[in-house]
Structures are given as C-alpha cells and as structure tokens.
Chains A and B, each alone.
Chain A
Amino acid sequence: GNSVTQMEGPVTLSEEAFLTINCTYTATGYPSLFWYVQYPGEGLQLLLKATKADDKGSNKGFEATYRKETTSFHLEKGSVQVSDSAVYFCALSHPGGSEKLVFGKGTKLTVNP
C-alpha cells in the first residue's frame, strides 16, 4: 500500500545551520506530496507541496523537490531560525484523485540560538 517514511528525530540544530529532513514514499501511480508543520500547541499547517515529478515546492525558505526516480521529497532549508522549531510531517495524497492523506511519523526539529 501507500506509505511515507521520514527520518527519525529529534533533530537539534544551531541557528543558521542547514537543515535536511529526508522523506521517501511508496505509492502506486503518481501521488501529490506535501510537507506539513506543527508548531507547539497548534494544528498542522501546509508548508509546501508538489504535485508532479520534478516540481519544487517552496515556502518560508524551505524547499522540497519531487524526485520520482528516487521516490523522495526531502525538505531543506539553508539557514534555520529558532522560530522554525516544530514537528514536520511528510505526506502524500492517494493517487487517483482521492483527498486522503498518508503521513510520515513526523520529525521534531529544535533550533537553538
């Protein structure tokens, strides 16, 4: 079935460090891919998305490229800030137009000043 695997956390970085959170997926067809972020005490928010191969999603300095050949959608940011501390979830939507989301386990990021 469809599944998402993302790197285990927690991840702790110093401010201005480079961030990569790995995400790979297994799916039949061509899913849409998402990164969601959950700040402490808040609901999940869509961070970025990509709907087809080679698309790059970007928002707030974060980027992820839909790599069909490696079935990956790794999240990157060149210089993290303390305010980026949150839990990040990689997700896919079922191919075939369904709106159902399949989530990874989440990766907790802590950025220290």
Chain B
Amino acid sequence: GAVVSQHPSRVICKSGTSVKIECRSLDFQATTMFWYRQFPKQSLMLMATSNEGSKATYEQGVEKDKFLINHASLTLSTLTVTSAHPEDSSFYICSARARHPTSGRSYNEQFFGPGTRLTVL
C-alpha cells in the first residue's frame, strides 16, 4: 500500500524557535497533502490543504504566518511552526492523496503519516 513518512517523529524545542516537519509520499505522487493537528484525547483537526506548486489553503482560525506550509514537489510537503510557544505543543499528522501514475486522476483515499510529536518548552 501507499506509504507516507514524517520526519522527525518527535521533537522538543525551546520557546521562540522554529521547527520544520517533513511529510513524504514514499511510493506515489501526491496531488494534495493535508496537515492535521491532534490534541490529547481530541479528534484530528484539519489545519491546511496544500497542492503541489501552489499556496496552501488554511482552515479558519489557523494562522498562516505561524504555520508555514510548502509543497515543493509531488512527494514532499513541509510544515514549519514559526516562533513556537508551549501552546503549539501537539501531535501533527499529514496525509496525502495519490495521483494515478498514468491518468493523473486523484484517488479519493487519503494516506496518513505516523505523526510528529512536538513539545515546546
């Protein structure tokens, strides 16, 4: 099946620093990647949707200058948490929609990465 990886799996940083999280589709091209945030015992909340080569679309209430998303290629999207603060501590999960290798059409299913645990001290 399609595999999505995230790096790092866990990061601890000091308040005020920036942290970059990578999301890669390992064996398929992703037309669209999604970034979610999950608080303890809460559901996944969609933060933004990114399409390769275009600006990300952010959900209401998500600060685009705080959470920078870059989708530079069909296999890589990055989320940068800028000037992180303790309230940004959370579990960040990405997912990707695959594109058929010959027709170019997108599959309906999203494939999820294992998540990145961010702790801001």
Question: Which residues of A line the B interface, CB within 8 A?
Answer: 4, 32, 36, 41-46, 89, 93, 99-106
Contact = CB atoms under 8 A, between A and B. Distances in A.
A47 to B, nearest CB: 11
Contacts, number: 46
A105 B4 contact: no
Given A43-B4, A43-B93, A100-B46, A105 B114 contact: no
Nearest to B113: A43
A46 B109 contact: yes
B97 interface: yes
A44 B112 contact: yes
Interface string B31-59: 01010000001111110010000000000
B114 A100 contact: no
A106 B110 contact: no
Given A42-B114, A44-B93, A45-B112, A103 B44 contact: yes
Interface of B: 4, 6, 32, 34, 41-46, 49, 93, 95, 97, 106, 108-115
A68 B101 CA distance: 35
Contacts of A89: 43-44
A45 B115 CA distance: 12
Nearest to B39: A105
B4 to A, nearest CB: 7
18 contacts: A36-B112, A42-B114, A43-B111, A43-B113, A43-B115, A44-B44, A44-B93, A44-B112, A46-B109, A46-B110, A93-B108, A100-B46, A101-B34, A101-B44, A101-B46, A101-B110, A105-B42, A106-B43
6 nearest A-B pairs in the assembled complex, by CB-CB distance:
A44-B112, A43-B112, A103-B43, A43-B114, A105-B43, A103-B44
B32 A99 contact: yes
Nearest to B44: A103
Given A42-B114, A99-B49, A103-B44, 13 more contacts: A41-B114, A43-B93, A43-B112, A43-B114, A44-B44, A44-B95, A44-B112, A93-B108, A99-B106, A99-B108, A99-B110, A100-B49, A105-B41
Contacts of B32: 99
